[in-house]
Amino acid sequence: MAGLSNYTYATLKQAILDYTEVDANVFTETILDGFIMAAQFKINLDCPMDSDRVQDQGQFVTDFNTITMPVKLLFIRGIEVFNSTANTNGQGQWLEKRDQTFMSEYVGNLTGTAGGAAGQDVTGLPKYYAMFGGATTGATRATSGAIFLAPTPDANYQYIIHYNVMPVGLGSGGDGNSNTYLSNYFPQGLLYACLVEAYSFLKGPQDMLTLYTQKYTQELQKFAAMQLGRRRRDDYTDGTLRIPIESAPQ
């Protein structure tokens, strides 16, 4: 069985076997890896975590209105652009996210610096961005997608992109980590998510599938309350969280 505080890749695999009472002849390492991978993806999509927040710094290219996104990007939290081609010192400004339809109306033409409404300057310091593409390759696409910029940059402005990634999960050798944030700080939820996958694979018993689905949902609610609530606030700026209690009827 796994330790009391967290799971490793090895102990989580053993816990799945122990809880389901299935041996390694049925749940081979490949099958167990599939359970763990699916469970990790599910949790990462259900609850964005601070541990997966990263940022990249780069430069826009003059007269190019698209840039590819970093590998494994799940979603952008914000893009900060600086009116400088040398560094990111000083006060930056945040790009506003818009739909591609808005961008098309704004600049008239998203292929270079030509186009736009009469008298409209379509180059300058970018103000808006919109996401597109993904899962393909090409000059303006990457596996994580790309973004349009408007106006088209008229200089190599510095930018910082803040985003969440899909982290490297549990695995053996060079295929993963022996410990992850989830296995250390959300071990019970990770186990329940794996057991949901396991009982789905076994096609029953239905009551066990229902049980672990409910357990996963309960643990996820508590974990999300910490990740999306408590970790995003503090007592000094937000005050102590107060929970209203209904008075007894008179």
DSSP collapsed to 3 states, the chain: CCCCCCCCHHHHHHHHHHHHCCCCCCCCHHHHHHHHHHHHHHHHHHCCCHHHEEEEEEECCCCCCEEECCCCEEEEEEEEEECCCCCCCCCCEECEECCHHHHHHHHCCCCCCCCCCCCCCCEECCCEEEEECCCCCECCECCCCEEEEECEECCCCEEEEEEEECCCCECCHHHCECCCHHHHHCHHHHHHHHHHHHHHHHCCCHHHHHHHHHHHHHHHHHHHHHHCCHHHCCHHHHCCCCCCCCCCCC
- 112 in the same domain as 17: no
Residues 63, 151: one domain?
Answer: yes
Would residue 243 count as lying in a domain? no
74 and 119 within one domain:
yes
Say how many domains are in the chain: 2
| Closest listed residue to residue 79, CA positions, set 90, 67, 93, 100 | 93
Angstrom distance (rounded) from CA 81 to CA 140: 20
Which ranges of the chain have pLDDT less than 70? 1-5, 90, 109-121, 135-142, 173-175, 240-243, 250
pLDDT at 240: 67
Q: Would 208 be classed as within a structural domain? A: no
pLDDT of residue 112: 43
C-alpha atoms less than 13 angstroms from C-alpha of 74 in its C-beta half-sphere: 17
Q: What pLDDT is recorded for position 117?
A: 44
Tell me what pLDDT residue 189 has: 96
Are 64 and 136 part of one and the same domain? yes
The pLDDT of residue 135 is: 63
Residues 58 and 140 in one domain: yes
Domain that holds residue 123: 53-165
Do 2 and 91 have their domain in common?
no
Q: How far apart are CA 158 and CA 59, in angstroms?
A: 4
- Torsion from C-alpha of 225, 229, 231, 232, nearest 10 degrees: 160
Q: Does residue 155 sit in the same domain as residue 58? A: yes
Dmax (CA) for the chain in angstroms is 73
Domain assignment present for 34: yes
Q: Examine residue 12 and state whether it is found in any structural domain, yes or no.
A: yes
Q: Does residue 82 share a domain with residue 58? A: yes
Pair (10, 64) in one structural domain:
no
The predicted pLDDT at position 91 comes to 76
pLDDT at 110: 44
Domain membership flag for residue 226: no
Judge if 141 and 161 occupy the same domain.
yes
* Alpha carbons within 13 A on the beta-carbon side of 21: 3
CA distance 147 to 150: 10
Q: Provide the pLDDT for residue 137.
A: 57
pLDDT tens digit string along 205-221?
Answer: 899 999 999 999 999 99
- Whether residue 249 lies inside any domain: the answer is no
Same domain, 78 and 139: yes
pLDDT at 145: 86
pLDDT at 158: 93
Q: Given this model, what pLDDT does residue 31 score? A: 95
Q: Are residues 144 and 70 in contact, defined by beta-carbon separation less than 8 angstroms?
A: yes
In a domain, 219, yes or no: no
Residue 234 lies in a domain: no
pLDDT of residue 243: 67
Indicate whether 62 and 126 sit together in one domain: yes
